[in-house]
Amino acid sequence: MSENATATTTGNRPDTREAVAVLPTERLEAEITELASRLAAGECRWLLLVAEFARREAWRAWGCVSIVHWLGWHCGLDPRSARERVRVARALLELGAIREAFAAGDLSYSKVRAITRVATPETEVELIATARHATAAQVERLVARFRQVLDPSRAAAAQRAYDRRRVVCSDDVGGFCARLHTTHDEGSAFAGALEELTVRSVRQRPLAEGESLGQRRADVLVETVVRAAQGDVGAGASTDAPLSPADRHLVVVNVDATVLAADEGQRCELDGGPGLAAEAARRIACDAEVARIVTGVNGAIVGVGRSRRRPPRWLRRYLHARDQGCRFPGCGERRVVSAHHVRHWVHGGPTDIHNLLELCRFHHRLVHEGGWSAALDRHGVATFTSPTGRTVVGHPIATGLRPPGSAGGTTVGGSAEPPVRRSALG
């Protein structure tokens, strides 16, 4: 084929903007609907693959906490969308008629997502017929009212249960007993959350000989409530979590040194929150203790150095400002995290910002008992390697930290102050 012929063929590709612009309206409409049907069929196939992948628990080989974690990391889904797709995928295994209609492209994912919330093998055919002749929004509304149609007293019963919600505690020689009375939906959310916390606890510390799952569930519930009252987070939360009970009442502002000095600079934001004007930061912090985490002109945290084996609070604040939560790719856990020594302290590793990573409890255990290894290069890129040799690489973060006493450096919670003019933040 000649160069001219090649250029002509390339210019008439059907996926270019120019090629689409000249399509007749009837052809345009036909292709849109046809491709929508193909997308639905492809989505069905994809969900069935996800269901099988989840059944095999193949996500564990990647060091993931769950199939939801794996989907977020490898398929770019947010946690809510991933959880919903896993639910639909598992429902399709039990609902053959819906699965066939979906695979044929007769039902969109939006409609399938809605009707699988209430469908049973006995009702799915009727729901399919309704969904075929309704919009996705109409199907959502119909599903939302489905149970109320079957049981008109459900809303009134739910309100009565809500009005009677209570926790009753009693203590006698036989032991302490607590009873929770609440609505079905809140009870289901409570039970699901407790079960999830229990599963995490068992993963981190397997059941001892003679210990039942019910006993572990009781331990997790008591630990969670007690730690919440003490200001800690979650069952089994690490005592060296980045935000201690006192820290949770701080306004933490990440701010360029030049902002503090002269209202100029690039970074001024609440930790984990939105950007702030310098004056807004001063107003918010007017009646609160402030933890200063000062950054240099290159965006790197200034003045972190070597300390004892367990990082002090000020070093944890620096580490949290740098890592913003668990560094394992795709995890995103920010609250319940630990400071991991890349080179262990007993093997000569320093308690230094260059040798520390934030990891959640699951991934911290993974790089110890789980046989994984972690490395941190000079560019701040974390690399994790599985026992089988599989390597996963995280995103880079700002590094180039200077030790205490060097130009522009400071230590926190101890001696030196940053070499900038004090602001009105105090």
User: What mean pLDDT is predicted for residues 399-404?
Assistant: 38
Inform me whether the pLDDT recorded for 239 exceeds 90: no
Instruction: Name the DSSP class of 61.
Output: G
Instruction: Give CB contacts under 8 A, 24+ apart, made by 79-86.
Output: 84/113, 85/47, 85/50, 86/50, 86/51, 86/54
Q: 279-297: per-residue pLDDT in tens? A: 555 554 444 444 444 444 4
Nearest to 319, CA basis, from 273, 352, 367: 352
- What is the pLDDT at residue 3? 44
Model confidence at 146, in pLDDT bands (50, 70, 90)? confident
Question: Looking at residue 401, what is its pLDDT?
Answer: 38
Closest by CA to 102, choosing from 53, 41, 163, 152, is: 41
- The rounded distance, in Å, linking the Cα atoms of 408 and 419 is 6
Helical packing angle, 136-150 and 154-163, nearest 10°: 70
Q: What is the pLDDT of residue 52?
A: 95
Which pLDDT belongs to residue 176? 79
Mean pLDDT of the region 207-220: 89
Q: Which residue has the higher pLDDT, 250 or 323?
A: 323
Percent of the chain with pLDDT over 70: 66
pLDDT in tens, 87-139: 999 999 999 999 999 999 999 999 999 999 889 999 899 999 989 888 888 88
Residue 196 has pLDDT above 50, yes or no: yes
pLDDT at residue 35 in the model: 92
More confident residue, 165 or 273: 165
**CA-wise closest residue to 268 among 313, 246, 244, 299:** 299
Give the list of residues 6+ apart from residue 354 with CB closer than 8 angstroms, or none: 376, 399, 401
Q: What span, in angstroms and rounded, lies between the C-alpha atoms of 270 and 253?
A: 5
Per the CB < 8 A criterion, the answer to whether 162 and 183 are in contact is: yes
pLDDT bracket for residue 381 (50, 70, 90)? confident
The pLDDT of residue 82: 93
Looking at residue 116, its pLDDT comes to: 93
Least confident interval from 41-45, 118-122, 273-277: 273-277
Q: Which helix (H) or strand (E) element contains residue 270?
A: strand 268-270
Whether 43 has a pLDDT exceeding 90, the answer reads: yes
Q: Can you tell me the mean pLDDT for 43-50?
A: 96
Token match 């934030």: residue?
358
How far is the CA of 413 from the CAs of 208, 294, 305, 312, 417, in angstroms? 41, 13, 13, 9, 9
315 versus 194: the higher-pLDDT residue is 194
Reported as a pLDDT band with limits 50, 70 and 90, residue 277 is low
Is 80 exceeded by the pLDDT of residue 332?
Answer: no
pLDDT at residue 16, as a whole number:
75
Confidence of residue 302 (pLDDT cuts 50, 70, 90): very low
Given this model, what pLDDT does residue 183 score?
75
Residue 171 is predicted with a pLDDT of 67
Q: pLDDT band for position 323 (50/70/90)?
A: confident
**Could you write out the DSSP letters of every residue in 152-219?**
TTHHHHHHHHHHT-EEEEEEETTEEEEEEE--HHHHHHHHHHHHHHHHHHHHHSPPPTT--HHHHHHH
Predicted confidence (pLDDT) at residue 28 exceeds the cutoff of 80: yes
Mean pLDDT to the nearest integer, 269-284: 56
Q: What is the pLDDT of residue 86?
A: 95
pLDDT of residue 202 exceeding 70: yes
CB 420 within 8 A of CB 257: yes
pLDDT band at 425 (very low <50, low <70, confident <90, very high): very low
Give the global pTM: 0.53
- Domain map (residue ranges) of the chain: 25-145, 166-229, 247-295
pLDDT given for residue 415 in this prediction: 30
What is the side-by-side order of every strand in the sheet holding 290-295? Answer: 268-270, 251-256, 290-295
User: Higher model confidence: residue 135 or residue 249?
Assistant: 135
Asked whether 418 and 302 are in contact (CB, 8 A), the reply is yes
pLDDT at residue 264, rounded to an integer? 54
Q: How far apart are CA 11 and CA 19, in angstroms?
A: 8
**pLDDT of 56 over the 80 cut:** yes
Main-chain phi, psi angles of 257, to 5 degrees: -60, -35
Q: Residue 222 CA to chain centroid, in angstroms?
A: 25
